[in-house]
Amino acid sequence: MLAIIGLFLCSCSTDKQLTWTLVPYPNDITVQPGAFSFDQGISISNNSDLLDSTAEHFRKKFENLGINITEESVYRIHLEIVDSKSSSEEAYELTIDSEQIKITASNPRGVFYGLMTVWQQLSLSQSLEIPCGQIIDAPRFEYRGFMLDESRHFFGKEKVMQLLDIMSSFKLNTFHWHLTDAPGWRIEIKALPKLGTVGGIGNESNPNGSVQFYTQEEIAEIVAYAAERHITIIPEIDMPGHATAANRAYPEFSGGGSEKRPDFTFNPGKEETYEYLTAILREVSELFPSPYIHFGGDEVHFGNQQWGNDKSIIALMKREKLLNLKEVEQYFSKRMADTIQSLGKITGAWDEVVNGGLSSENTLVYWWRHDKPEQLSNSLKGGYNTILCPRRPLYFDFVQHDTHTIGRRWDGFNPIQDVYLYPDSTHTFTAEELAFVKGIQACLWTAKVTSTDWIDFMSFPRMMALAESAWTTSKNKNYSRFEKNLSNIFDYFDTLDIYYFNSLNDTLRIEPPINKGL
Strand 385-388 with 363-367, pairing: parallel
Facing residues of 136 across strands?
A: 93
Distance CA 314, CA 296 (A): 24
**Which SS3 state, helix, strand or coil, does residue 288 take?**
coil
Residues contacting residue 474 through CB under 8 Å, at least 6 positions apart: 140, 424
In the chain, CATH 3.20.20.80 sits at: 143-496
Distance CA 394, CA 398 (A): 9
Distance CA 468, CA 170 (A): 8
Distance CA 142, CA 164 (A): 17
Tell me phi and psi for residue 119, to 5 degrees.
-60, -40
Which 8-state DSSP code applies to residue 395? B
Distance CA 19, CA 131 (A): 7
CATH number for the domain running over 2-137? 3.30.379.10
Cβ 451 vs Cβ 154: under 8 Å: no
**Which SS3 state, helix, strand or coil, does residue 253 take?**
helix
Distance CA 464, CA 477 (A): 13
Task: Write b or e for each residue in 301-338: b if 16 or more Cβ atoms lie within 10 A of its Cβ, otherwise e.
Answer: ebbbbbbeebebbeebbeeeebeebeebbbbbbbebbe
Strand 143-149 with 92-96, pairing: unpaired
- In the sheet with 92-96, reading across from the earlier edge strand, the strands are 29-37, 129-137, 92-96, 100-105, 76-81, 43-46
In the chain, CATH 3.30.379.10 sits at: 2-137
Q: Which of 412, 497, 395 is nearest to 446 (CA)?
A: 395
pLDDT tens digits, the chain, 518 residues: what are they? 333 333 333 333 444 567 899 999 999 999 999 999 999 999 999 999 999 999 999 999 999 999 999 988 999 999 999 998 878 999 999 999 999 999 999 999 999 999 999 999 999 998 999 999 999 999 999 999 999 999 999 999 999 999 999 999 999 999 999 999 999 999 999 999 999 999 999 999 999 999 999 999 999 999 999 999 999 999 999 999 999 999 999 999 999 999 999 999 999 999 999 999 999 999 999 999 999 999 999 999 999 999 999 999 999 999 999 999 999 999 999 999 999 999 999 999 999 999 999 999 999 999 999 999 999 999 999 999 999 999 999 999 999 999 999 999 999 999 999 999 999 999 999 999 999 999 999 999 999 999 999 999 999 999 999 999 999 999 999 999 999 999 999 999 999 999 999 999 977 778 999 887 67
Q: Which of 113, 105, 130 is nearest to 170 (CA)?
A: 113
Is 143-496 a domain of CATH 3.20.20.60? no
What percent of the residues of the chain are helix, what percent strand, and what percent coil, each to the nearest 5?
40, 20, 40
Strand 100-105 with 92-96, pairing: antiparallel
